[in-house]
Structures are given as C-alpha cells and as structure tokens.
Amino acid sequence: MTPTIISSEKKEIPFRKRSVPSAKVFVFEDEISRIVDHAEYGMKDNKEVMGLLIGRFFRDDNGEYAIVDNVITSPLTANDVNVRFDEYKLETLFDLLDAETEKNRLVVGWYHSHLDYGCFMSETDVKTQNGLFGGECGFALVIDPIREELKVFDSTLNDPQSVDMIVMES
C-alpha cells in the first residue's frame, strides 16, 4: 500500500502573521516532549531515532514558516550512527500520513537523533533534507539526548542553516 496522493499541484501557502518574526518553526511543547522521549528511548538501546514533523506551512511579510502540531514515526532500522524507516513496515507510516492528510496537515520536516555527536547536519542528513524538500520550505530537527541539545535547520540546498524555533504551550 502506498500513501494517497492528493495532488501534485503546488498549493498557495496561506498568509498568517507570526508572533515572533525571526522564528521559522513553531512547535507545541507536547510534540517536543514526544521527540525527547523517543530520542531517550533510542538512547537506552544505543540507537538513533527518527520521525516526521507534521503541521502546516504559512507565510507572512518575513517569508515562510511552519507550525508543527504532531510528530509521527514507524518501526525503524537503526544503530548508534544510522537510522531509517524499516522498509518492510512502511505501510504503518503511510497509514499515519494518510490520516494526517485527511486533517489537511502535511510533512513540514523530520527529526532524528545523534548520540553524543552534537546537533549538526551530516552529509547523509543534508542529502535527506535535499531529497525531502529540494530547497523549498521544510525543516530538520536534530536532537542529541546525551548532550541534551536540540537544533533546527532549514532547507537551504546543500547547506542547511540553523533557524530559530519557538516552543508553544499545548
């Protein structure tokens, strides 16, 4: 089973003024807690984790930004330096994505952990980011549960840049 393709047409991003003009990503605190819990769970087994940031894109006079109101993941194949979705369990991920699409939400980014390497975009991470967003609006959240660090990057092609994130009360 593959995810439902709603349309390949690029939809206009709604205009909505953001509360903090410099912030590119707004995430509800419950979703940050879920990411932290997931990263700590993986850390116990000495494995990286990953998932998708779900929400909506908006634009204002300062450009495009995202609001993240859910995170999803599915079974992973991982070790201490690599992680990917388990190719034999992708149907689980597709079902979750279909449910989000029905709520008019989409993938606005992805998250993954680094175990005691700090928060940066590796060569593999940059390739993943380029593949997912191709330089358009989209974000990568990197968490290091050992160093207790978290950082968000944009989709600048071949050179994602660190961006400001606001954590909102749920």
- What is the pLDDT of the chain when averaged over all its residues? 94
Q: What pLDDT, on a 0 to 100 scale, did the predictor assign at position 155? A: 96
pTM as predicted: 0.93
Distance, in Å, from the CA atom of 154 to the CA atom of 69, rounded to the nearest integer, reads 18
Is the pLDDT at 113 greater than 60? The verdict is yes
Calpha distance 112→110 (Å, rounded): 7
- What does the domain layout of the chain look like in residue ranges? 30-168
Cα angle 93, 98, 102 (rounded to 5 degrees) comes to: 150
Going by pLDDT thresholds of 50, 70 and 90, the confidence category of residue 9 is low
Q: Where does 30-168 sit in CATH, by number?
A: 3.40.140.10
